[in-house]
A and B are shown apart, each in its own frame.
Chain A
């Protein structure tokens, strides 16, 4: 088989396309700004929040009651359509609308409150809210949640105080909550999801049917989701924020098993703001076919030998790699607490990457080139305005991704406090963008890989075409936030032999060390759009990076399954052939 190494026709099939994006959002903005301003929901939230904030701790009946110093209501009003197909037929098609409120109560002082240490997640109480604009019902549900949340907060605060007395002094004595200016930004309300459901059902079905061409792909799934969400945020500090968030997503997932029992999967996702921004059916089916071919080739590929030598990560692979290995370690909350590795905590101002690399996280970018970025947002889940954050400047670490949880080196949020409904926001990535000032063409980079391998006396270097994202990792038995699983790896021989696909590669050693050994990058950044899971739940993210050449990466054999491949051929094969 030919190597798809830097083959433009093949990689373009995987590249995310987006069209017609601007139109929908413009129409939406014009149509519904007014409705958010007059929102009964927003008004009921503000009224009830003020009533709770002034009443709690000031009831004459109980003089010892602690007043909360902070209260926020965060409502996610989400309308969603989900369509799934497998084995070429529809496996599910459903729609759902729900309003969820997260009530956050803080008692004590910002210096030490009920969220301290392990108690952080206890400060959020969630309930389903009425979907209709019934002021009384909304208010009473908020009261119910606030009451429960306040009880929890007081209970946890007492425990925090006790623990503070019996424990040795903490290394990081930062407060538990940062001081920020209130934000007022009442934006548009997202419209309901409007799609041609029957047409999308047929599209999803047809994409899944492609795998009938690949009898060794023993399982496949195509999932389409369109979610239009409006987020409402009010706080006792005076913030009032309404922001829409629209996202359509198409995921293709396929699996196979080699004769020796090794399981292999590939996935391809497409994201856009709305469903009509997703690629054409022809592109989707071509992507499915590429996955099918790739898996059929992979299951016959030789198993890799342990290797220690030069390698190239494709742009997509580098994007995932930076997100998983670097991005998560730059989250503010990981710089404080006994359980955290704190890799970078004390390295501010130091060079942690080669000087030609810079890394920023910029949720305010809606697009990279023509590609829509799923990690974009205008206000974070603590009601703070999204900001571009220059994390690493010419190799030097500058700052971290901050929520309102301060750390020793940084006291304030930089608009990266994110969470899914029901979770306490923490510092998270949005759009992680890696840029380079030392770029080379694909051919030059490949040549450099071969030269480096020769120099090290290796018969080949490795090309990582695809490594699994956080999304794909959740399909595995042991999801680990930082684990990266190479999915498609090629040997690039120094003697001019054709590139050879191998399987079962696992990156070992410290991936951070590998990052320091980046010597050059490609000149075509690639976008990875995906969903990222961590303590504060699943949030949409993007990562952008060019291909990277590393002088040394250490790999070993991946632990593999022992189940045999299916005994009988998949149905339909004999009939078809």
Chain B
């Protein structure tokens, strides 16, 4: 609890939008920052002087410097396994030769990364930038020569330029700090230890003590401050923060089937996380559900029919299916394709039912009073984030794109994002899927039962939560509306085709799913009633039960 006020204070600074309302900052403002100043000095030197005799000079250089401050503590079976706090500074350098129409970029992503000194020592920092720049420039010359050769071998010319032209911006947000002092780190260490031991301490789950095969909890907090400068004059400083508490517990059913439950709460600030009491209650509910799952019958061998996905399960499904399909990436040389992936040729075509819309809006910083992890104001190529109407009335009207244009999309829409030390590529920010005339939970359930009656089915199914792509909590619902927990199912035929033509109805309430991956993102989604889904027994290998009983 110690952590809360401290963390909030620092994070409010982090969340403050770049001072757009104030006068736009200048390069002189940026140079007050030692790190930015060193970056600009080395960038200028490289643009002016970097050239291998008889070869082209670079036409574009970008430096990204990321400061990572990371804390993690983990615990198992009620005791801490340790905590670690670490800082690192990483530089990522992009050097392009050629021009905007044809440059040295390749589909693999470009540039060079180096670990850099954490001290704000200009010479040390510039030395890392220098080493990475030298490496990236030499690689760019080789890549450019190779691309020129490849272009001579294809009949169809590239459908778009290699690099978009964007307005240079200067945006300087105050750097955020990881507000975890030694006392709050210890407090988290103790808290995760307690959570991982709830199976021992909570009286309501005592009966399960002998069955618990693992019980672990983790707290992880990270701040990344990135600084970006380009030879076009863009200067950006921004911070992203992420906090995550998670709990996982598992056992086996009598037939050996592994039963796992986990809960995690993710936020931009520590205040976004579930309060400790609520998280603890949730964790106990997870343990309790293991007891229920152990007793639950196996799902029927095979089922085809309507399945109601909770908003939680729908968010995971949309993330998995739409998440990669809406990204515009440059196609192979020599093809007329617009982009790659499932929606490569779907521009203006129907991809969802006509009552669903999807927009990706990274500027949506909070929803339902909670900060969204996928929100940002400037992307990792220095382009301001934009709301992109991806799907309107069920039709695909746009893609998420960075600075590598594709046919009909010559500009970035502020979705070029990078994982730490990696090159930027298009990625989800905050994907919001909404339904016109969305239904309440009751109405959805009624509709589900209606479908059962129409099809003369004995029962239908409700997926409450997924673990990966398999249901973790799956309920069989009789025609009388009675729910029964079942286990051991896998989901089939829940694909893009099902999303396009098999969604019968959607909910009105949106669930917030934050994904704290390499590139944080958020999906806001309603429950989905899908008409024709396959459920069948997973039939995975069931490991032997423990060979001897647990201690005590």
Contacts and interface: CB of A to CB of B under 8 A. Distances in A.
Nearest to B212: A140
B106 interface: no
Contacts of B125: 89
Interface stretch (A29-37, A127-135, A467-475): A127-135
Given A134-B79, A563-B138, A91 B551 contact: no
A9 to B, nearest CB: 31
B84 to A, nearest CB: 5
Contact of A572 (B74, B123, B128, B547): B123
A90 B214 contact: no
Interface in A471-498: none
Nearest to A569: B130
A85 B77 contact: no
Most A C-beta atoms less than 10 A away, residue of B79, B85, B552: B79
A131 B81 contact: yes
Nearest to B125: A89
B76 interface: yes
In the complex, which of the residues B74, B122, B123, B549 has the most CB atoms of chain A within 10 Å of its own CB atom? B123
B518 interface: no
A137 B82 CA distance: 14
B123 A141 contact: no
Contact of B85 (A59, A94, A97, A571): A94
B380 to A, nearest CB: 23
B137 interface: yes
Interface stretch (B49-57, B347-355, B524-532): B49-57
Contacts of A568: 45-46, 49-50, 130, 134
A572 to B, nearest CB: 4
B551 A143 contact: yes
A86 B79 contact: no
B549 A98 contact: no
B99 interface: no
B168 interface: no
B415 to A, nearest CB: 32
B84 A91 contact: no
Contact of B124 (A86, A138, A564, A567): A86
A181 to B, nearest CB: 28
A345 B546 CA distance: 43
Q: Which of A96, A128, A137 has the most CB of B within 10 A?
A: A137
A103 to B, nearest CB: 13
A89 B117 contact: yes
Nearest to B215: A140
Contact of B79 (A56, A65, A138, A571): A138
B159 interface: no
Interface string B213-236: 110000000000000000000000
A208 B80 CA distance: 36
Contacts of A90: 117-119
Given A52-B548, A59-B547, A94-B86, A219 B51 contact: no
B550 interface: yes
Contact of B88 (A88, A92, A96, A131): A92
B77 A151 contact: no
A464 interface: no
B88 A139 contact: no
Contact of B116 (A55, A91, A141, A205): A91
Q: Secondary structure at chain A's binding surface: helix, strand, loop or mixed?
A: mixed
A94 to B, nearest CB: 5
Given A88-B124, A567-B50, A139 B82 contact: no
A173 interface: no
Contacts, number: 150
Given A87-B124, A92-B118, A139-B552, A130 B79 contact: yes
Given A218-B131, A567-B50, A568-B50, A141 B77 contact: yes
Q: Which of B46, B49, B86 has the most CB of A within 10 A?
A: B86
B84 A94 contact: yes
Contacts of B214: 144
B127 A128 contact: no
Nearest to A205: B119
Nearest to A94: B86
A128 B76 contact: yes
Contacts of A65: 547
Contacts of B280: none
Interface string A122-159: 00000011111010111111011001001100000000
Given A143-B550, A150-B547, A563-B138, A137 B84 contact: no
A85 B115 CA distance: 11
B118 A51 contact: no
A132 B124 contact: no
A97 B134 CA distance: 38
B402 interface: no
Given A128-B76, A570-B130, A91 B547 contact: no
A564 B117 contact: no
Interface string B417-453: 0000000000000000000000000000000000000
A418 interface: no
Contacts of B52: 564, 567
A566 interface: yes
Contact of B127 (A98, A131, A567, A572): A572
Nearest to B51: A567
B80 A132 contact: yes
A568 B136 CA distance: 13
B500 interface: no
B165 interface: no
Contacts of A136: 77-78, 200, 551-552
A48 interface: yes
B92 to A, nearest CB: 16
A147 B42 CA distance: 57
A97 B189 CA distance: 13
A88 B126 CA distance: 11
B121 interface: yes
Q: Which of B78, B117, B121 lies at the interface centre, i.e. has the most chain A CB atoms within 10 A of its CB? A: B117
Given A89-B118, A134-B78, A144 B549 contact: no
B82 A128 contact: yes
A385 interface: no
B188 to A, nearest CB: 14
Interface string B484-495: 000000000000
A88 B120 CA distance: 11
A212 interface: yes
Interface of A: 48, 51-52, 55-56, 59, 65, 85-94, 96-99, 128-132, 134, 136-141, 143-144, 147, 150-151, 205, 212, 218-219, 563-564, 566-568, 570-572, 575
Given A131-B80, A132-B193, 19 more contacts: A51-B548, A51-B551, A52-B548, A86-B116, A87-B128, A91-B115, A91-B118, A94-B86, A128-B82, A136-B77, A136-B552, A139-B552, A141-B76, A143-B546, A218-B131, A566-B134, A567-B50, A568-B50, A572-B127
11 contacts: A90-B119, A128-B76, A129-B81, A130-B77, A130-B78, A132-B80, A137-B76, A567-B51, A567-B134, A568-B134, A571-B123
Q: Which 7 A-B pairs have the closest CB atoms?
A: A130-B79, A89-B117, A89-B124, A137-B79, A571-B126, A89-B121, A55-B548
